[in-house]
Structure 1
């Protein structure tokens, strides 16, 4: 071809953008777990929301909200306090569509079994568009159990929390059709050690306190109310602190600055001061950690789900790209080594999705079954620990599958890569989760018994799994020291993943997982699967993402 015949306006051999697809129907594993775990009734809602979240318009909204970042306005031009955060319209669009879909409310508004499963499926779909809106949506979903501790507070707030109307107006909460929640726990000197908090709460009257102090991270500062930890006379306590008092007066919450974070950019996180702010006690004085842990337990579920979702989106981008891109005479997806890498990544994504959805099922079961309550006490921390760790590794390899096209900012992968570590850090980093597992084993023996019972029931399906389940049970019952806490979390995570894949995934896929992830000497890199029939590798890839479906 002569130089004059080049088309300088068209690039050849480029994969099309992954847009205008149904994020639910292309994810066979998400569909299969929803069906296997008894929440088929949520399929129509997931189908509808999957079409929306896969649309070019929604993908563009996620990009815009992360490009045009939240802006804090502390004062107006006359020097009056404002303490308002301004968001790009795309952020509000994503919030409105997610709330209309019931992402935050469905476990609390349905009387059918599987409310948590439905919530987790919808959250999974929403997370793939934008990490930032996950924060206020998750906290609004998760606050309900804490609010229920105080019946009077619950009566006032829960109908607005579970409303499917998004009302972003900066007005008193009791004038709004729907509200969102945030939280403020950590302080500069303590971080995860909230018992070292020095913010104080002085009783004023009738359960109302004046709160004074400083919080290092206030999540979603434009929320209508926050759960806040402060030291009361009887110890660390939990308070509901609204943006406006019951008299309709702006509360004395003063935002100092927004955090300049690695990722999660579309969501604002603020440093805040309380100057005798109006707060209402939730639960009993001195029981603040127990009260707010009701919320934290639910947010940890969403961390496991969100990490699985981000992992899936990255793997989907890699599979999609390799399905179209050609090199050395054939499609990348037909190149043996690349197929091996994609199958390995798909296997990890499938297992993460299954782990997250099995924990969601545990939350549903816990409404009817005491043993399930004990099971999720440990399993939730396990899922949060494992999925958030694995997601970081998957994102790096998925980006490499796209090469330079995955490294440039026009691709969604750099944003996903920056976003994914937040789930490992928020609501307790890896060590906190691992130590929480040990604490539960020691202080709540019924939770250990529930996990051991689960391991026992998984026996007899695969020789490597039997060995792993036996070794895991021995590790759990051997009075393990603190330094083994992470090893315990990993062992239990793999046990649940393998057990559940045998139950819900195609047999060749489940067998491949057991053969690879439970081998005595596992590979430390992606794409080092042993010789496996091509049809099984392709089945594994399509179980994670089916291009064109």
Structure 2
């Protein structure tokens, strides 16, 4: 945590003076997720929280402190700390991802000056089924006021130095991510500051979700790169059956397949970050981000699980023992897919964007049109994508294949812009144009049309970047 805060993993987007700070921060997060995944939640929440804190005058001091670069694990009041950690507590056991079913209630208490601005304080009563990083200094949460879901922020330590009434009921015994605490919490007279208007809480909190979802797409791409790095290191340095493992024909197929997948996932996530840099100034980039963010979150966070499994198999039995890094990464891999909305929620969000905001579809196809004409397989795929999106708008049943289609099209476009002929050719043959004869469900099933020498060059490239 100290290293992450020192090197601005949560904050670079808001402090950098150069162009494209969200892209720069995404690259930093991509690298950091290859160092320590257990800090991914607190760094990502602090990153997303700044925008919400900065909009609320009563929380100005929190916006300032969340940009701090000296991590301090203490319960001191916000004014006395060099930096703060921010948590989110939204999910309730009866509602899950449907935040409209929030049953926590809030009753107005009083209004008073809070660090130079007037804060409207409410008293919260309720229970949250998931609260990540419960040791945070402050939390965003939701509660109903007269039946309307409203956004609140509450500090763990109140201005007079006393501790707020925030009770950790238990820590979750999770499959992975054990270095980061997940918990159930109870509010019983918890004092919280209202954020935004009463009854507008969902709109307020969803304004943060673009940033958290982007961070998960980037983080999963980073985790994919890390498991590939470990697989490459093991297979290129271990000899068996008379040669390097990486040079054995089937292993070369596996490694090249994985390398193409990681590069495509990385470029897509960074493209969403670049669009985020222009959300406030470029309507087309804003519309593209609206549909590309949940698509990238869905695809990368789901795909990393298969990557971790294949990388573990590259290590054999050594990868399945707890003193090897692969065991932890294997347990870590599924987490991002359920945080901030599981796969179906992301696909529903893509569908909602297409139904409610016609410019999101226009922006998507404008993004793809920029590289059309460079590869006939890509052109054919984009042409076929239009009817699939039509089907999705009429029937929810097609939301998943349509969202995957969007993700693959975005990946193909970015590879055409930035990658090498070998990688582009394999991607187009197997992901977009080859059909079942050329690529199977598992890694290592690059089929006819892909040679081992081509795969070897892709693996050599992956060892360098």
TM-score, normalisation: structure 1: 0.80
Deviation readout 1:351-382 (Å, 9 max, x if unpaired)? 11111111111111324312111111110000
- Contact 1:128–1:309 (Cα < 8 Å) also in 2: yes
Q: Give 1:534 deviation, angstroms.
A: 4.1
Counterpart for residue 116 of structure 2:
none
Q: Give 1:111 deviation, angstroms.
A: 2.3
Counterpart for residue 80 of structure 2:
175
Give the alignment partner of residue 462 of structure 1, picking from 354, 375, 386: 375
Deviation readout 1:278-332 (Å, 9 max, x if unpaired)? 1011111111111111222111011111111111111111111111111111111
**Separation in structure 2 between the aligned mates of residue 513 and residue 473 of structure 1, nearest angstrom:** 20
| RMSD of aligned alpha carbons | 1.4
**Residues 1:404 and 2:317 are matched in the alignment:** yes
- Contact 1:350–1:543 (Cα < 8 Å) also in 2: no
Matches within 5 A, 1:81-92: none
Give the alignment partner of residue 159 of structure 1, picking from 52, 61, 64: 64
**Separation in structure 1 between the aligned mates of residue 48 and residue 457 of structure 2, nearest angstrom:** 36
**Separation in structure 1 between the aligned mates of residue 224 and residue 33 of structure 2, nearest angstrom:** 10
Counterpart for residue 185 of structure 1:
90
Give the alignment partner of residue 536 of structure 1, picking from 430, 454, 461: 454
**Residues 1:520 and 2:426 are matched in the alignment:** no
Q: Give 1:456 deviation, angstroms.
A: 2.7
Q: Give 1:234 deviation, angstroms.
A: 5.7
Q: Give 1:535 deviation, angstroms.
A: 4.2
- Contact 2:258–2:443 (Cα < 8 Å) also in 1: yes
**Separation in structure 1 between the aligned mates of residue 125 and residue 454 of structure 2, nearest angstrom:** 60
- Contact 1:149–1:291 (Cα < 8 Å) also in 2: no
**Residues 1:297 and 2:205 are matched in the alignment:** no
Give the alignment partner of residue 511 of structure 1, picking from 408, 416, 425: 425
**Residues 1:347 and 2:252 are matched in the alignment:** no
Deviation readout 1:69-88 (Å, 9 max, x if unpaired)? xxxxxxxxxxxxxxxxxxxx
Q: Give 1:533 deviation, angstroms.
A: 4.0
**Residues 1:337 and 2:255 are matched in the alignment:** no
Q: Give 1:149 deviation, angstroms.
A: 2.7
- Contact 2:75–2:157 (Cα < 8 Å) also in 1: no
**Separation in structure 2 between the aligned mates of residue 451 and residue 322 of structure 1, nearest angstrom:** 39
Counterpart for residue 33 of structure 2:
127
**Separation in structure 2 between the aligned mates of residue 447 and residue 477 of structure 1, nearest angstrom:** 13
Structure with greater contact order relative to length (CA < 8 Å, sep ≥ 6): 1
Counterpart for residue 4 of structure 2:
98
Q: SS of the counterpart of 1:513?
A: helix
Q: Give 1:453 deviation, angstroms.
A: 1.9
Counterpart for residue 395 of structure 1:
308
Counterpart for residue 65 of structure 1:
none
Counterpart for residue 3 of structure 1:
none
Q: Which runs of 5+ in 2 are unaligned?
A: 112-119
**Separation in structure 2 between the aligned mates of residue 363 and residue 426 of structure 1, nearest angstrom:** 20
Q: Give 1:543 deviation, angstroms.
A: 3.2
**Separation in structure 2 between the aligned mates of residue 414 and residue 226 of structure 1, nearest angstrom:** 32
Q: SS of the counterpart of 2:38?
A: coil
After TM superposition, the structure 1 stretch with the greater mean CA deviation from structure 2, 141-150 or 421-430, is 141-150
Counterpart for residue 195 of structure 1:
100
Counterpart for residue 22 of structure 1:
none
Deviation readout 1:3-22 (Å, 9 max, x if unpaired)? xxxxxxxxxxxxxxxxxxxx
Counterpart for residue 412 of structure 2:
498
TM-score, normalisation: structure 2: 0.94
Q: Give 1:417 deviation, angstroms.
A: 0.7
Deviation readout 1:27-86 (Å, 9 max, x if unpaired)? xxxxxxxxxxxxxxxxxxxxxxxxxxxxxxxxxxxxxxxxxxxxxxxxxxxxxxxxxxxx
**Separation in structure 2 between the aligned mates of residue 381 and residue 480 of structure 1, nearest angstrom:** 19
Give the alignment partner of residue 221 of structure 2, picking from 272, 297, 308: 308
**Separation in structure 1 between the aligned mates of residue 426 and residue 206 of structure 2, nearest angstrom:** 38
**Separation in structure 1 between the aligned mates of residue 462 and residue 341 of structure 2, nearest angstrom:** 29
